[in-house]
Amino acid sequence: MMSMHQQHAFSDAAPGATPPARGEPFAPAVELSQACVTFGRGANSVPALAQTSLRIAEGEFVALVGPSGCGKSTILRLASGLVKPTAGVVVVGGREVAAKALRIGMAFQNPTMLPWLTVERNIMLPLKIVQPFRSQYAREKKGAFRDKAHALLAQVGLKGFAGKYPWQLSGGMLQRANLCRALIHEPRLLLLDEPFGALDQFTREELWAIMQELWLAHRPTVLLVTHDLREAGFLASRICVMSARPGRIIDDAAVDFARPRSIAMTFEPDFVALNQRLRELIVDARSVPSAEESA
Amino acid sequence: MTNVAFRQKLWSAGLIVLFFAGWEAFCLISGMSDLILPRPSQVFATLWQRMPILWPHILQTLGTTMTGFVLGVALGVVLGAVIGVSRTAYDTVYPLLIGFSSIPKVAVVPIFVLWFGSGTVPAVLTSLSICFFPIVVNIATGLATTEPEMEDVLKALGASKLDILWNVGLPRTMPFFFASLKVAITYAFVGTVLAETVASNRGIGNVMMSASSNFNVPLVFAGLFILAGLGVALYAAFSLIEGRVTGWATRKNDLIAA
């Protein structure tokens, strides 16, 4: 399987795996070994993900791209434990994913704020659930935790919206709040399922920059599912391309543009070349879904 | 208060006044005997004169209804939560529940009397058994229709089933719950009065029963008015609490009024 993956390097850095953040040892934060997922049983079963192996190192920012319906989101849901592999093993933080050995933050394309809570309380929800915050929640919800929520809101440009209800916010604002909720409990693994997909171009680019800033500040391991190749190139340190359904990883490329990256960078020749190559891969994957199967 | 809301209140008050005025006029013009249909003015006069005697009965009926209602709500919430959370419970318990709720409660009162004697206990049980069903159905529906996306937000954090129920399921079900409370409180009154009519020597139901056997028709109507008044008062109380608790679910009205 691994032999079929091609390793590509762009710009100045050496090919191969991205260097781990802050000199930590290369321990995989997420590891899928021959994991596959089939929904339903018998004649009605739908293969969502063909046998896939994927290793994500601690502190890496990996983007998953591919044609729609190829199982990108399924990989994300495997890593979060929302879906169990039909076969194979999914290990997160050194343990089987159900053990929740790593603090996980997750943001979906749909912000799904709880409509009966204010933005502030929505964002503080993970603190109410996840240890060690959980045991302090009653004491700190009007103290340190609220300050934390307000600080994060200010960071994404939502200062002064803490007391509003979700329906009083626009789509872009909700998505910012969604990011805050995914980050407030300082997760070591951040799973993002097209969180910027429904936004307009300018809001999206603004949020990319905020996302990059947050990642550089906290350095969680990130797995981002996206349709947007510019987004993948701007944010990720590594891009995995998937084939059409049932998906598997057909290309694995390191992205080594210097950080912090700027939106202007996404129009430079190197970046455009990367974009172009990924695009062709996906177009091929869409038209001949089983080309690799016969090889 | 905004202009629109005020005008709405004015209309509904006007309709009530019009209803009683029409009734009064109909009785006067047609020369209807007050043994058949007393005039509202007669009913209100009776209500006023007999209030000292009626008062303990009002308290009796109110107390019985509230006891049955509170017990019914408790039972309904627990049963509804179990049915709403578990698919298996939903499939196994529902047929039995529907069978039970289809039994006319009039038929059950004699059994309660047989078991517990006449008086307050059968009345409480009747109002309980008649009012818990809408609560079960609404709680179960609310929980069963909770968006899986909302639950996923918590599941991804490693939340337990109880966490999810407490933080997503129950708050989301609150609008359903309050809708059912308003139905249940009126049902509870029906249950109480039913049992009081059949087997009790206290309560508004009993007062109406004995008044009708004495052909004191204005007093029968006075009993009806009391029941209507109590029902409206409790309905209004729940609406008020509902507005506080589930305001998030009715923001459409705010936007129109704003």
**Quick check: is A49 in a domain?**
no
Mean pLDDT, rounded, for A150-158: 85
Q: Side chain identity at A121, as an amino acid letter?
A: R
More confident of the two residues B227 and A136: B227
Question: What's the pTM?
Answer: 0.73
B247: nearest CA in chain A?
A: A116
Which among A92, A78, A80 has a CA at the least distance from the CA of A38?
Answer: A78
Helices (H) and strands (E) in chain B, counts: 11, 0
Give the pLDDT confidence of B189-246 residue by residue, as tens digits. 889 998 988 887 888 998 999 998 988 899 999 999 999 999 889 888 888 888 887 7
Q: What was the pLDDT predicted at A11?
A: 39
pLDDT exceeds cutoff 70 at A86: yes
Give the pLDDT confidence of B98-126 residue by residue, as tens digits. 888 888 888 888 888 889 888 889 999 99
pLDDT exceeds cutoff 50 at A6: no
From CA B194, how far away is CA B202, in angstroms rounded? Answer: 12
Q: What was the pLDDT predicted at A100?
A: 67
**Quick check: is A19 in a domain?**
no
- Beta bridge pairs of residue A180: none
- Lowest-confidence region among A245-254, B11-20, B138-147, B188-197: A245-254
Peptide bond into B110 cis (omega under 30): no
pLDDT exceeds cutoff 90 at A203: no
**Quick check: is A236 in a domain?**
no
Q: Counting one residue from A and one from B, how many pairs have CB atoms under 8 Å apart?
A: 60
A191: nearest CA in chain B?
A: B156
pLDDT exceeds cutoff 80 at A43: no
Q: How confident is the model at residue B25 (pLDDT cuts 50, 70, 90)?
A: very high
A126: nearest CA in chain B?
A: B157
- Among B149, B156, B167, whose Cβ lies nearest the Cβ of A110? B149
- How many CB atoms sit inside 10 A of residue B128's CB? 22
pLDDT exceeds cutoff 90 at A155: no
**Quick check: is A130 in a domain?**
yes
Domains contained in chain A, number: 1
SS3 assignment, position A64: strand
- Among B147, B167, B171, whose Cβ lies nearest the Cβ of A128? B167
Q: Confirm if A73 and A234 have CB atoms less than 8 A apart.
A: no
Contacts of A185 in chain B (CB under 8 A): 157
pLDDT exceeds cutoff 60 at B167: yes
Contacts of A110 in chain B (CB under 8 A): 149
B168: nearest CA in chain A?
A: A114
ipTM for the assembly: 0.72
SS3 assignment, position A253: strand
- The pair phi, psi for residue B245, each rounded to 5°, is -80, -40
Q: Which residues of chain B have a Cβ shorter than 8 Å from any chain A Cβ?
A: 147, 149-150, 152-159, 163, 167-168, 171-172, 174, 246, 248-249, 251
Cα of B54 to nearest chain A Cα, Å:
44
More confident of the two residues B96 and A24: B96
Is the C-alpha dihedral spanning A15, A17, A18, A23 positive or negative?
negative
Q: What was the pLDDT predicted at B157?
A: 83
Highest mean pLDDT out of A154-158, B8-12, B69-73, B159-163: B69-73
Residue with tokens 């070349």: A273
**Quick check: is A62 in a domain?**
no
Q: What was the pLDDT predicted at A294?
A: 42
Cα of A249 to nearest chain B Cα, Å:
24
Mean pLDDT, rounded, for B250-257: 52
Mean pLDDT, rounded, for A120-133: 87
Mean pLDDT, rounded, for A63-71: 83
A168: nearest CA in chain B?
A: B251
**Quick check: is A163 in a domain?**
yes
| Domains along chain B with CATH numbers | 50-253 (1.10.3720.10)
Mean pLDDT, rounded, for A29-44: 81
Q: Side chain identity at B174, as an amino acid letter?
A: M
The token pair that represents B20 in the structure block: 């009683």
Q: How confident is the model at residue A101 (pLDDT cuts 50, 70, 90)?
A: low
Q: How confident is the model at residue B150 (pLDDT cuts 50, 70, 90)?
A: confident
**Quick check: is A249 in a domain?**
no
Q: Confirm if A165 and B248 have CB atoms less than 8 A apart.
A: yes
Q: What was the pLDDT predicted at B19?
A: 94
Q: Side chain identity at A132, as an amino acid letter?
A: P
Q: Confirm if B175 and B249 have CB atoms less than 8 A apart.
A: yes
- Lowest-confidence region among A2-11, A207-216, B60-69: A2-11
Residue-level length of chain A: 295
- Lowest-confidence region among A7-11, A115-119, B134-138, B186-190: A7-11
Q: Confirm if B195 and B127 have CB atoms less than 8 A apart.
A: yes
Mean pLDDT, rounded, for B91-98: 84
DSSP B141-168: HHHHT--HHHHHHHHTTT--HHHHIIII
Q: Which residues of chain A have a Cβ shorter than 8 Å from any chain B Cβ?
A: 80-82, 100, 104, 106, 108, 110, 112, 114-117, 125-126, 128-130, 165, 167, 181, 185, 191
Cα of B7 to nearest chain A Cα, Å:
28
From CA A86, how far away is CA A95, in angstroms rounded? Answer: 18
Mean pLDDT, rounded, for B125-132: 91
Peptide bond into A67 cis (omega under 30): no
Q: How confident is the model at residue B16 (pLDDT cuts 50, 70, 90)?
A: very high
B147 Cα distance to chain centroid: 29
- Among A117, A130, A165, whose Cβ lies nearest the Cβ of B158? A130
Q: What percent of chain B has pLDDT over 70?
A: 96
From CA B152, how far away is CA B138, in angstroms rounded? Answer: 23
Mean pLDDT of chain B: 87
- Among B147, B152, B251, whose Cβ lies nearest the Cβ of A167? B251
Residue with tokens 């009965």: B57
The verdict on a CB contact (< 8 Å) between A191 and B249 is no
SS3 assignment, position A250: strand
From CA B223, how far away is CA B250, in angstroms rounded? Answer: 35
SS3 assignment, position A239: strand
Q: How confident is the model at residue B76 (pLDDT cuts 50, 70, 90)?
A: very high
More confident of the two residues A70 and A229: A229
More confident of the two residues A2 and A112: A112
Q: Where are the alpha helices (DSSP H) in chain A?
A: 72-80, 119-123, 125-129, 137-140, 144-155, 171-183, 201-218, 229-235, 269-287, 291-294
pLDDT exceeds cutoff 50 at A1: no
Mean pLDDT, rounded, for B150-163: 84
The domain in which residue A168 lies consists of 113-173
The verdict on a CB contact (< 8 Å) between A128 and B171 is no
- Beta bridge pairs of residue A64: A225, A240
Contacts of A130 in chain B (CB under 8 A): 157-158
The verdict on a CB contact (< 8 Å) between A125 and B154 is yes
B174: nearest CA in chain A?
A: A116
**Quick check: is A129 in a domain?**
yes
pLDDT exceeds cutoff 70 at A19: no
